[in-house]
Amino acid sequence: MSEKAKAIHNAYCDYEVAKAKQPSRIYSVRVEIKTKSGVKTHNMSKAMLARQLALLY
């Protein structure tokens, strides 16, 4: 592998490692203020939100 290809490969690997070290994003969905019923979605990860929705059905 050429030096340029190695440099590109190393830069990409460093980028992926840095991305993996960051915590996952937290998704939130706005709920109408008028209705108090529903699923609490604030400060929940996507997986936690999916589990809450699955429990409803």
Tens digits of residue pLDDT in 4-27? 899 999 999 999 999 888 877 777
Does residue 17 form part of some domain? no
Does residue 9 form part of some domain? no
Tens digits of residue pLDDT in 31-57? 555 545 566 666 778 888 888 778 777
Does residue 1 form part of some domain? no
Does residue 15 form part of some domain? no
d(C-alpha 1, C-alpha 29), whole Å = 47
Number of domains into which the chain is organized:
1
Does residue 35 form part of some domain? yes
d(C-alpha 39, C-alpha 54), whole Å = 11
In terms of Cα–Cα distance, which of 43, 37, 40, 42 is closest to 52? Answer: 40
Q: Range of 35's domain?
A: 24-57
pTM: 0.39
Does residue 3 form part of some domain? no
Does residue 10 form part of some domain? no
